[in-house]
Amino acid sequence: MSDAHGPTIKCCTLQYWRKHWNDRKINFHEPIVNRTLEEQIPLVNAKHKIHKILVPLCGKSLDMLWMIDQGYHVVGVDGARQAVEEFFTDHGLEWTERDATSMGPGCRLLQTAPVYLQNMVNLYVPAENLDPVVKISSRFLAVDRLLNAERNIKLYYGGIDLFNRTVEGQFDFIWDRGGIVSLNREAVDGYVDTMKDLLCPGGSMLIESHDSVVFTEDGTDSPPPPYVMYENEFKSLFEPECTVYSIDRNLHPRAGRIFKNVYYLVTKMS
Ligand SMILES: C[S@@+](CC[C@H](N)C(=O)[O-])C[C@H]1O[C@@H](n2cnc3c(N)ncnc32)[C@H](O)[C@@H]1O
């Protein structure tokens, strides 16, 4: 299908989101770490030890940087190449890349480079040829790279419908912000089935949703995405394999819109 402005892209398909990244329409990206995530992770960890965290539809979220700095093993998945690549470039992280054959054709795994690779970059700089200012800044760069080397993260580039437990096994915790509420509606059931399968018994998924319509600052309703999803919808999607509780809510202004955020903690039966 097409119109005078070119082909019409169906809302919230992967093609739609790739176009958003290409056009730099990424207002959903937050410049700070999510407060509810910061509060909930220690509480969840106290009940069920968290080792591995999945961030489906991850974008280039800063939350992932915070979680790896807390010592968690983080795996993200996004179908926009820019998203996964910019996560590394934004934070000055070196990465290696290979085909993610266990996920599917065309999928790629981008992963922080091991320490020795990052050090090699510095070894090959002939320090005696550098002027003193560059020499000092390259030392800082070396220290920075060494610190970053501890930041171990894997980001998969590919459609979330292709991600399954053969790729990275199961996860203790899943963080979904701007994920399920931003997916094409036809993809939601399959996405939820995948998430339920990817959660370890006793593991939890924290979801940011929106209660009632998202409205603009002048008071008018704003169309999706994100979609409004209520508690009863989450219950019918996740029960009986999981319990669903709403645990936090707040009003959040962003990019000319006000979001009525509601957070759900979904826990898989042990
Ligand atoms: C609203 S953004 C949220 C990003 C991120 N969670 C954050 O908090 O900034 C949705 C993301 O999901 C990705 N996405 C949408 N549909 C997808 C699909 N079917 N497979 C993989 N990624 C998808 C988009 O590229 C986009 O980065």
- What does the pLDDT look like over 173-200, one tens digit per residue? 999 999 999 999 999 999 999 999 999 9
**Residue 210: CB partners within 8 Å, gap ≥ 6?**
181, 226, 227, 228, 229, 259, 260, 261, 262
Distance 117 CA to ligand 1 centre (A): 30
- CA-to-CA distance for 58 and 140, rounded, in angstroms? 30
Contact 118, 145 (CB under 8 A): yes
Centroid of ligand 1 to alpha carbon of 84 (angstroms): 10
3-state helix, strand, coil split of the chain in percent (to 5) is 40, 30, 35
Nearest CA, atom 2, ligand 1 = 178
Q: What local confidence, expressed as pLDDT, does residue 251 receive?
A: 87
Query: Which residue bears the tokens 């600052």?
Result: 217
179 C-alpha to ligand 1 centroid (Å): 6
DSSP 125: S
- 78 Cα: distance to centroid of ligand 1 (angstroms): 6
In angstroms, the CA 11 to CA 20 distance is: 11
Distance, CA 75 to ligand 1 centroid (Å)? 14
The predicted-structure confidence for 73-132, as pLDDT tens digits, reads as follows 999 999 999 999 999 999 999 999 999 999 999 999 999 987 555 454 444 445 555 555
Ligand 1 probe mutation, 17, 188, 207, 263, most atoms within 8 A of CB: 17
Ligand 1 atom at minimum distance from 158 CA: 21
The reported pTM is 0.88
With 0-12 / 13-18 / 19 or more C-beta atoms within 10 angstroms meaning exposed / middle / buried, residue 70 is middle
Q: What's the rounded Cα separation, in Å, for the pair 142 and 149?
A: 10
Identify which of 171, 174, 146, 142 has the alpha carbon closest to the alpha carbon of residue 57.
174
- In 18-131, DSSP assigns E strands to 52-56, 73-78, 95-99, 108-112
- Determine the pLDDT at residue 139: 54
